[in-house]
Structure 1
Amino acid sequence: MKRFITLLFIFTNCILFAKTIEANYSISYGSFLDLGIAHTKLTYNKSDYEIMIEAKTTGIAKILTNNRIEIYKSVGSFIDNKFIPKKFVKIKKNNNSSRMKEYTFDYKNKKILVKTTNEGIKKSVNNELKFENKTFYNEHKDELGFFTKNDLLSLFFNLKELIEFKEGKSYSFSAVGANKIDGKINLFIPSKEKKLIVYINQKIFGSEKGELLLSLNNEGFCSIAILKDVVFFGDIIGEMTDFKINKG
């Protein structure tokens, strides 16, 4: 009975201190062409967290990309005001196929395990020389070539604990989801305000180099983001349209 009461207290305590922050964004090219929408959600309590970003194409971009959707998710522990990831997931999908990469952090052995899954439908020619749809599925497991204690999402929300917003300062970090070779990310502070220039050095959301110009609010969320050199569109802008905080 004593153990049950203790567990109940811990569980209730976590619920009482749970916090959820959500933001919605419109994604556009300039001020005249809507390209998509994005939703960001951060939930954490005294011990755990979950971060998720989902971006969807709309309008002409939806047609050009065959209904492209990208999902990024990070789950782990929340310790000393820092997000410590246990798992990071990337999903890229359209009407015909889906590709998922799942990264599992092994802190004891200082390695990161990667599971890649591909599935979908592709056209092939049968014996009668006619096109037909065939489903495919393959799975591959590997080990990442470097070890780090952050993924893209955890690092972003850890920045307030890691950097000073002083004009001219630059930083270098590593994170899963950035450069495939070493996970390197470069940051530059252009002014005293909460603004960043981020080089992910990896293709993200269709941007070849993953160069981001960010302006942050007091909770560490982007209020405005400019993603440079996106395929088909050039620079695109993500602007916050809704922001809310729910405390348990």
Structure 2
Amino acid sequence: MKKVIFILIFMTRLIYASDTTVQYDIDFSVAGTIAKATIQRVEENGNYVITLQAHTIGIAAKLTNNRRESYISQGSVVGSELITDVLVVIRATNGKEKFTVYKFDHKNKVVQKDTSEIKQVVTKRMDVINMCMIETVKEEFSYDSVKNDYYAENDIVSLFFNSRYYLGSMNAGEVKKLRAVGIKTNEGELVISTPVREVAGNKEQGELPKYELFNVAINKDYFTNGNGKLNVRLDPDGFPAKVTMNDVALFGDIVGIRLYDEVAFK
């Protein structure tokens, strides 16, 4: 499910309406559609809320105990840039919910991380008189509050809404390292690059590209070669048309596809 959310996050860039909802399917190359995703951005009175939700379906839901994940980024809009104040991450399965809240103190360059978890614990005992098993379910609650390991100006959601500032100044084939709260590897570091062939071809003709392309490098064990890359393609209207994560161990490619007939404008 972490890989599904990664695909979903890269589908959030450049949504301009004050209240817009977009639908996506998440597909495994060997298993078909395994998740549904929704992205909503609401902007009002200089503030914004972006909500990303994903849930597994079919056999994937059974294998993951109905895994659901949500990312909620809240903050202010300065010019056209998003300044994040809070990132809420919710992960849930049957019998377990985990809430992580990141609170940003930009003045002191500190991020506070609060984590709470509710878990159902099942115990069984044998009733020797009635010769049956008796099952007892109780809830356990835990809470922790610590300073996050690192500070970044963006969370994982706001970074990619703001990424047009970085991409606009990048040349074909250039690589940039960006940081965001909510990423577990390399202290929130991502490596973004622009493909040489597609971008350079448009610039040589002196035309704006008909679509935007960029790649994101990810170093994780779940890739067959130890390294992975997201390929992101944006439509002319700024919405992601397709995001592909290649060479995921055991599964092949994961693809996020825009559902054009299910886009709702409010």
TM-score interval for Structure 1 and Structure 2 normalised by the shorter chain: 0.7 to 0.9
Structure 2 residue 141 is the aligned partner of structure 1 residue 137: yes
Q: What are the within-5 Å matches in structure 2 for residues 147-226 of structure 1?
A: 147-164=151-168, 166-190=171-195, 191-192=198-199, 193-199=211-217, 201=219, 211-226=229-244
Using the aligned pairs only, state the percent identity: 27
1:152-203 Cα offsets, whole Å, 9 max, x none, are 1101111112223642121111001113552101101113141121135579
1:49-86 Cα offsets, whole Å, 9 max, x none, are 11111011111111111111111110000001101100
The DSSP-based 3-state class of the residue aligned with 1:138 is: strand
Give, in angstroms, the shift of residue 123 of structure 1.
2.2
TM-score normalized with structure 2 length: 0.76
Question: Larger relative CO (CA 8 A, sep 6+): 1 or 2?
Answer: 2
TM-score normalized with structure 1 length: 0.81
Check whether the contact 1:18–1:46 (CA below 8 A) recurs between aligned residues: no
Segments of 5+ residues of structure 1 without an aligned counterpart are 1-16
Aligned to 1:6: none
RMSD, aligned CA: 2.7
Most deviating of 163-172 and 115-124: 163-172
Distance 1:137 1:210 in 2: 36
Structure 1 runs (4+) greater than 6 angstroms displaced: none
Aligned to 1:9: none
Check whether the contact 2:233–2:241 (CA below 8 A) recurs between aligned residues: yes
Check whether the contact 1:212–1:228 (CA below 8 A) recurs between aligned residues: yes
Q: Give the partner amino acid of 1:178.
A: I
| Residues paired across the two proteins, number | 227
Q: Give the partner amino acid of 2:173.
A: G
Segments of 5+ residues of structure 2 without an aligned counterpart are 1-15, 128-132, 200-210
